[in-house]
């Protein structure tokens, strides 16, 4: 009969939580990236989905916003693949790219307001999931 350490179960639970958070962040970042790519393509094609706001301070051409979202989406998908592999660089890059996605969606808020708010919330959850596990647990 072997004695078990009293903290063994807690370490396993913490490790499981850290792993679960990392997978959650990877999946959410992959989805956010794919959706950003699709939004970028739609904006580049100058789809009729987007609203034009004539007096917006951060106004870019719709095609310009499309390229920005397309690039962010591609990088987000690549970083999410690194997260699936458990790479440390991907965790830091994931927080960074999710932050950039928040900024880009805030700045393009008038073009597609509801979707921008959804993407901001989704990116906030990604940042939360990547920052929640402590360094020793991941």
Question: pLDDT class for 138, splitting at 50, 70, 90?
Answer: very low
The whole-number pLDDT of residue 37 equals: 95
Mean pLDDT of 79-87: 92
Question: pLDDT class for 48, splitting at 50, 70, 90?
Answer: low
Question: What would the DSSP string read from start to end of 42-86?
Answer: HHHTT-TTSPP-TT-TT---HHHHHHHHHHHHHHHHHHHHHHHTT
DSSP class of 53: -
Mean of pLDDT over the chain: 81
105 CB-contact burial (10 Å; exposed 0-12 / middle 13-18 / buried 19+): buried
Task: Give the span between the Cα atoms of 83 and 112, in whole angstroms.
Answer: 29
Mean pLDDT of 89-102: 95
Structure pTM?
0.77
Q: How many CB atoms lie within 10 A of CB 46?
A: 12
Query: Does position 72 have pLDDT exceeding 60, yes or no?
Result: yes
Question: pLDDT class for 76, splitting at 50, 70, 90?
Answer: very high
Mean pLDDT of 94-108: 93
Are 116 and 69 in contact by the 8 Å Cβ rule? The answer is no
Query: Does position 108 have pLDDT exceeding 90, yes or no?
Result: no
The whole-number pLDDT of residue 58 equals: 58
Q: What is the pLDDT of residues 8-46, one digit of tens each?
A: 545 554 555 457 788 899 999 999 999 999 988 988 887
66 CB-contact burial (10 Å; exposed 0-12 / middle 13-18 / buried 19+): buried
């Amino acid at each position: 009969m072997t004695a078990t350490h009293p903290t063994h179960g807690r370490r396993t639970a913490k490790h499981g939580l850290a792993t679960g958070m990392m997978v959650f962040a990877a999946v959410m970042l992959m989805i956010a990236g794919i959706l950003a790519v699709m939004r970028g393509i739609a904006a580049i094609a100058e789809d009729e989905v987007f609203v034009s706001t004539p007096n917006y301070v951060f106004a870019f051409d719709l095609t310009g916003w499309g390229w920005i979202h397309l690039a962010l989406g591609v990088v987000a998908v690549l970083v999410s693949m690194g997260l699936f592999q458990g790479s440390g660089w991907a965790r830091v890059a994931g927080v960074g790219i999710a932050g950039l996605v928040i900024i880009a969606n805030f700045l393009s808020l008038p073009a597609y307001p509801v979707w921008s708010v959804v993407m901001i919330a989704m990116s906030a959850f990604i940042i939360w999931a990547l920052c929640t596990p402590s360094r020793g647990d991941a």
